[in-house]
Structure 1
C-alpha cells in the first residue's frame, strides 16, 4: 500500500488520518496535485468539446491553449519538487478503478 492510502484509515463511520511526520508534506502535496490534475483534465476536455462545437473564438482557443500548457508545466515542476511521477497522481479507488483515466 502506498503512503497516501496508508495514511487514510477507515474506522466505522469516521475517517482517521495516521499522519507520518516524515511524509505528510509529500502525501498532502500528492493529494492536492491529484485534485488539480483532475480539474485540469476536466477543463481540457470541456475546452476540446466547445472547440469542436465551434462555440469558441480563435482568440479564446489561443488563450485556453496557452493557459493549459502553462498549467501542465507548473504541474510538472511541482511534481518534480515533491519527487512525484505523473502516475503517482492517479489514485487507486479499489473496485471503482483509478481516479484519472489511463491513456
Structure 2
C-alpha cells in the first residue's frame, strides 16, 4: 500500500502490498491480451480461414490460458472485478 507521509511528502511502499499490486497489474494486462486474442480467434473461425485442426488447437490453447489465469487469480486472491480497472470517463478496462 502506498502512503504519503504528511511531514515529508515521500511515498512509503509496503513490500507485501506492492507485490499484490504488481500481480494485479500484470494479470490485468494478461487478461486484456487474452480477451483480444480470443476475439481475434473467433473472427478467424467465423471467417473460415482456419482448418479444423487449427480451430481445435486454438480452442485448447485458449482454454488452457483461461485455466491458468483462474489459478493465478486464486494464488494472489484476486477475482475478475479486481482486474477491471476503472478508466474514468472512458469506462472500465475489461
Please indicate the TM-score interval, normalised by the length of the shorter structure. 0.7 to 0.9
| Aligned CA-pair RMSD | 1.5
Pick from 49, 54, 67 the counterpart of residue 48 of structure 2: 54
Structure with the higher fraction of residues in helix conformation? 2
- 1:22 counterpart SS class: helix
The structure-2 alpha-carbon separation of the partners of 1:18 and 1:98, relative to structure 1 and needing over 3 Å to count, comes to farther
Normalising by the residue count of structure 2, what TM-score does the alignment of the two structures yield? 0.85
Runs of 4+ aligned structure 1 residues displaced above 3 Å come to none
Q: Which runs of 5+ in 1 are unaligned?
A: 8-16
List per-residue Cα deviations over 1:59-80 (Å, max 9, x = no partner).
0000000000000000000000
Q: Which residue of 2 aligns with 1:97?
A: 91
Q: Which runs of 5+ in 2 are unaligned?
A: 3-10
* Number of residues of Structure 1 aligned to a counterpart in Structure 2: 86
Q: Which has the higher contact order (CA 8 A, sep 6+)?
A: 2
Q: Which residue of 2 aligns with 1:72?
A: 66
Q: Which protein shows a greater Rg?
A: 2
The structure-2 alpha-carbon separation of the partners of 1:18 and 1:90, relative to structure 1 and needing over 3 Å to count, comes to farther
Normalising by the residue count of structure 1, what TM-score does the alignment of the two structures yield? 0.78
